[in-house]
Amino acid sequence: MDDLDQLLPSGIGRQEFYLRPLAIETGSAGQALTAAGMARPLAGGPAVFAAVEVSVRQAAGIAAVTLPVAVVRDWIARRPGPGAVLSARLDAIAAPRPPVLGIAGPAVMGIVNVTPDSFSDGGDHLDPARAVDSGLAMMAAGAAFVDVGGESTRPGAAPVSEGEELRRVLPVVERLAAAGARVSIDTRRARVMREAVAAGAVLVNDVTALAGDIEAPATVAAAGVPAVLMHMQGEPQTMQQSPRYDSVLHDIHDYLAGRLERLTAAGLPLDRLIVDPGIGFGKTLQHNLAILGGLGVFLGFGVPLLVGLSRKGFIGRLGGGALPRERLGGSLAGALWALARGASILRVHDVGETVQALALWQAMAEEEGA
């Protein structure tokens, strides 16, 4: 009996196991491993993965085994029943992500918070004209999407009224959309989603994964726009008060898997959904690092992965107390880490710098593989 048989003695169910791609390579080394059947592309490439961690929940916690891709391939071939389930998950990790509004990724989403109290840029864009100017500058710098939000979701933030949220965002959405921007509306309210889409928004970004408003799933389905489903533990006012998980990576995976299942059953096509593990939303420093280390587990859903860690507090804590505007270095390091692990969209404050870093990362991956 081999390691997988010991780990999975009763077979495999659709959500009873987790796959995390490891041994990630790029360039000619990755191409050689793939040609030899020892690696698979990661979310379509250019990176490949040559090993996987297979894990399951047990009474005592998470049990895991790490195996080369070639060994897993042979196990699949010998066990046509459970092997088919495992093979389908591997295929989902390897496959290119569905494009988002025609953008195949990787892509940058610029942040425009039309609020007085967001953690990094609160007050910068409260004036609609300044918010529009900032969004236009992000477009010029290479942002594929501009994410407009009118309610701060920083730790400790108090909610605003629906009317105030609409008053803040609608003029900005309308003017940016008229200028040709792919505008994302960052909201958890169905009415704000509807009115923003009517004003020109083409994507919904919801920190509650369309669970915060009973009308949100039907609203997004009727609008026919893509939606970002983010994980958040608790509410912004309380989410950083001792957040706890059994296993942060696996708990978030299960939550997002459940939301995808519920929303597709409600009529939202899977190819219009995007997942976001919610860095910093009800997570400690160690939780955030565990999520970043395990980002590849979310590729098994087969949908695009959005990562938003720009200027987050954990970067400041790792960087000796750096203030939000002093966290560019850590933000870029995290962005490149996420790219190398299959992220399709990077949600950032510093668009020009991130676009430049992404361009160099892509050019070097192509050069190494030439």
At which residue do the structure tokens 């509410």 appear? 235
User: Can you list the positions of beta strands (E) in 46-152?
Assistant: 48-58, 61-68, 107-113, 145-149
Read off the tokens for 174: 């309308």
First vs last C-alpha separation in the chain: 42
Rg of the chain (C-alpha set): 21
How far apart, in whole angstroms, are the C-alpha atoms of residue 147 and residue 206?
11
Tell which residue, 196, 200, 162, 194, has the closest CA to residue 180. 200
Cα dist from 108 to 77, 100, 104, 244, 349, whole Å = 39, 12, 11, 31, 10
Burial class of residue 70 in the structure, from the number of CB atoms within 10 Å of its CB (0-12 exposed, 13-18 middle, 19+ buried):
middle
Residue type at 99? P
Rounded to the nearest angstrom, the gap between the alpha carbon of residue 97 and the centroid of all alpha carbons in its chain is: 12
How far apart, in whole angstroms, are the C-alpha atoms of residue 324 and residue 321?
9
At which residue do the structure tokens 């390091």 appear? 333
Tell which residue, 169, 235, 242, has the closest CA to residue 201. 169
How far apart, in whole angstroms, are the C-alpha atoms of residue 22 and residue 77?
21
Read off the tokens for 73: 């391939």
How far apart, in whole angstroms, are the C-alpha atoms of residue 317 and residue 71?
40
Q: Are strands 145-149 and 183-186 parallel, antiparallel or unpaired?
A: parallel
Angle of CA points 220, 226, 228, to nearest 5°? 95
| Catalytic residue (one of 20, 175, 259, 312) | 312
**Catalytic status, residue 312:** yes
Could you tell me if 155 and 165 are in contact, meaning their C-beta atoms sit under 8 angstroms apart? no
Cα dist from 165 to 162, 188, 328, whole Å = 5, 11, 29
Question: Could you list the active site residues?
Answer: 312, 347
